[in-house]
Amino acid sequence: MATDMESQLQTLAESAQKAIATADSLQKLEELRVSYLGKKGELSLILKEMGKLSAEDRPRIGAVANEIKNEIQINLVDRQNKLQQAEINQKILAETLDVTMPGVSYSLGKSHPLQSTIDRVIDIFVGLGYTIAEGPQIEGDYYNFTALNTPEDHPARDMQDTFYFEDGNLLRTHTSSVQIRYMEKNEPPLRIIAPGRVYRRDTVDATHSAVFHQIEILAIDKGLTFTDLKGTIKEFLRQMFGDDLPTLFRGSYFPFTEPSAEVDVQWQGKWLEVLGCGMVDPNVLKAVGYDPEVYSGFAAGLGVERFAMILHKIDDIRRLYNSDLRFLQQF
């Protein structure tokens, strides 16, 4: 009986040692503690039989049982320490910042070259005291033509092939319509810049698009002259091209200005036509109820695509519209 129990205890000690040594989590370790040393654990089960032992065997077997209990307890604590240390090491490793790892890079959105061109022009004119104005893209014939001194039978209407709606409205062919809209609602003096989208029945090619962008400039005050127009345009071009380049004011014709001019700028050895301008025609002032005997002013209109293409050496206007990232990422 006594040797039986002794060998049971030895077997228990061996299996406990093995199980504890290979326990791979604190939770498993706790389960082992309960199954070996718990109230209903294996050791207790064996010790229940102690009563059946003879009086001389009892203390000896009891001593062996105690030793095994201590051993198991020591093994448990030992293994617990090891597992806790391993957990800490794991945590330290996981939280270490490897500064040699390549970083995660996020690509930033950027302004489209058309928008950044518009923004540059706006910045320059805002610096000269101008405020931004806007008008609708679907316009009445009156705002796009008639009030701009271009009555129905006027040959200048052929200069701008127009998209018409069935109700007689149209897609504005230029931002000059904003001049009328703004002057109708405001009294002089005024200085405005009006950027926006315009439409013409043009066949699309490397330099033409049916939809494009213009920026309109308008200044009305007492005593404004062609000198003010020239000074303003020259200052604008100086800031736009970052240099005091030679400019040429060529006499031209627009129905809504008199006199009218087209402006060329000499850039990188070539004369480039960059905008149209002129003194606001008295008929335009009359159309909005301003007295042309008291007020005068100047206006100018420029094509955004043209400026963007000149400044960035873009060879085809269509590149500005087809959203090719290989192109857009260059700006």
Interface positions with ligand DAH (CB under 6 A)? 174, 176, 216, 254, 257, 276-278, 299-301
Nearer to ligand DAH, 23 or 288 (CB): 288
Peptide bond preceding 188 in cis form (omega within 30 of 0)? no
> What is the C-alpha separation between 321 and 209, in angstroms, rounded?
9
Q: Which is nearer to ligand DAH, 69 or 172 (CB)?
A: 172
Classify residue 163 by burial, with Cβ atoms within 10 Å: 0-12, 13-18, 19+: middle
The answer to whether 218 touches 297, Cβ cutoff 8 Å, is: yes
**How deeply is 80 buried, as exposed, middle or buried, from its count of CB atoms within 10 A (0-12, 13-18, 19+)?**
middle
Q: How far is the CB of 111 from ligand DAH (least distance, A)?
A: 24
Q: Which C-beta is closer to ligand DAH: that of 36 or that of 199? A: 199
Least CB distance to ligand DAH at residue 195 (A): 13
CA distance 204 to 208: 5
CB of 277 to ligand DAH, least distance (A): 5
Cα 282 to the center of its chain, rounded Å: 45
Nearer to ligand DAH, 19 or 224 (CB): 224
CB of 100 to ligand DAH, least distance (A): 59
**Nearest one of 202, 204, 196, 136 to 169, comparing CA atoms:** 136
The nearer residue to ligand DAH, 69 or 200, going by C-beta atoms, is 200
Q: Which residues contact 99 (CB under 8 A, 6 or more apart)?
A: none
Residue 313, amino acid? K
What is the distance between the alpha carbons of residues 75 and 93, in angstroms, rounded to a whole number?
A: 27
- For ligand DAH, the closer of residues 139 and 216 by Cβ is 216
DSSP string, 215-263: EEEEEEETT--HHHHHHHHHHHHHHHHTS---EEEEEEEETTEEEEEEE
Closest separation in Å from C-beta 325 to ligand DAH: 31
Q: How far is the CB of 228 from ligand DAH (least distance, A)?
A: 13
Shorter beta-carbon distance to ligand DAH: residue 84 or 142: 142
Nearer to ligand DAH, 20 or 299 (CB): 299
Within 10 A of 222 (CB to CB), how many other CB atoms are there? Answer: 10
Cβ distance to ligand DAH smaller for residue 79 or 196: 196
Q: How far is the CB of 253 from ligand DAH (least distance, A)?
A: 9
Nearest residue relative to ligand DAH (C-beta): 301
Task: Name the minimum Å distance from CB 187 to ligand DAH.
Answer: 20
Longest dimension (CA), the chain: 137
Q: Work out how close the CB of 265 gets to ligand DAH at its nearest, in angstroms, rounded to a whole number.
A: 16
Closest among 214, 205, 132 to 173, alpha carbons compared? 214
Whole-number Å distance between alpha carbons of 301 and 308: 15
CA distance 258 to 237: 22
